[in-house]
Amino acid sequence: RKEVEQDPGPFNVPEGATVAFNCTYSNSASQSFFWYRQDCRKEPKLLMSVYSSGNEDGRFTAQLNRASQYISLLIRDSKLSDSATYLCVVNIRGYGGSQGNLIFGKGTKLSVKP
Amino acid sequence: EAQVTQNPRYLITVTGKKLTVTCSQNMNHEYMSWYRQDPGLGLRQIYYSMNVEVTDKGDVPEGYKVSRKEKRNFPLILESPSPNQTSLYFCATLRTGGSDTQYFGPGTRLTVL
């Protein structure tokens, strides 16, 4: 089983739609979780960290379910500018002083159409 | 401005001709790493460094070398490039403590003929 698995995509949605990305991870010792965004031929950039309590940033909501080893990202009222590939990322060695080993999912491509 | 720089950004070379891709960061981060990204395979870690003079293999280290003589620089060396090393390469640094945010360089697109 792959360490981090994501929806295969691509997701093609109209402007204004709500879209959800799912991600599962296999290492139950994973400690920290992130969603990154990558535009075509550009570097990945942190979109948001994911905490056990869930967190929201404007139109974006991330949730973590440790029992199911599942992470989600919800985008509400999607914009054309949201078109990108979204990468689920897991740190299997924890926060802080352990430095960490980030494992990336293969990403899910989102295309928002007018 | 906090940044990670890579050079060159684009390179076309031939099999067997040694090359170095430089990576430099101005954020004083201890942790640096190199990834390659290939269609259908996602990002895979090549090497990482937890501090000066400390380097470790990632998931796909074969055919690559790195060095970390100073904190800000982490060059990737291909002693004898082969066509299967044609890829998009990213250098990254990790800010630890709190959010463990990883910052990526702009990428180097390498083609080995």
Q: What is the mean pLDDT of each run of 10 residues along chain A (114 residues)?
A: 82 97 88 91 91 90 93 97 95 54 89 96
For residue B87, give both structure tokens: 């890829």
- Does A44 sit within 8 Å of B107, measured CB to CB? no
Q: Residue B97: what pLDDT?
A: 64
- Of B46, B51, B45, the C-alpha closest to B28 is B51
- Measured distance CA(A54)–CA(B12) in Å, rounded: 45
Chain B contact present for A18, CB below 8 A:
no
Using CA coordinates, name the residue in chain B closest to A107: B42
Q: Residue A100: what pLDDT?
A: 57
Residues 6+ apart with CB under 8 A from B62: none
Q: Residue A95: what pLDDT?
A: 42
Task: Give the pairing type, strands B42-51 and B87-95.
Answer: unpaired
Q: Which residues pair with B104 in a beta bridge?
A: B92
Per-residue pLDDT for B106 more than 60? Answer: yes
CB-CB contact of A22 with A84 (8 Å): no
Identify the residue among A42, A57, A93, A101 best suited for mutation to test binding to B, counting B beta carbons within 10 A and taking the highest: A101
pLDDT digits 0-9 by tens, B45-95: 999 998 899 999 988 999 999 999 999 999 999 999 999 999 999 999 987
- Of A26, A67, A35, A98, the C-alpha closest to B30 is A98
Chain A contact present for B104, CB below 8 A:
yes
- Measured distance CA(B84)–CA(B15) in Å, rounded: 10
- Does A96 sit within 8 Å of B100, measured CB to CB? yes
Q: Where are the extended beta strands (E) located within B26-107?
A: 31-38, 42-51, 54-57, 65-66, 76-78, 87-95, 101-104
CA distance A71 to chain B (A): 16
pLDDT digits 0-9 by tens, B6-21: 999 999 999 999 999 9
pLDDT digits 0-9 by tens, A74-99: 999 999 999 999 999 988 764 444 45
CB-CB contact of B99 with A48 (8 Å): no
- Measured distance CA(A55)–CA(A73) in Å, rounded: 10
Sort A78 into a burial class: Cβ within 10 Å, 0-12 / 13-18 / 19+.
buried
Q: How far is CA A62 from CA A24, A33, A35, B6, B34, in A?
A: 13, 10, 8, 31, 27
Give the number of residues written for chain A.
Answer: 114
- Measured distance CA(B74)–CA(B22) in Å, rounded: 7
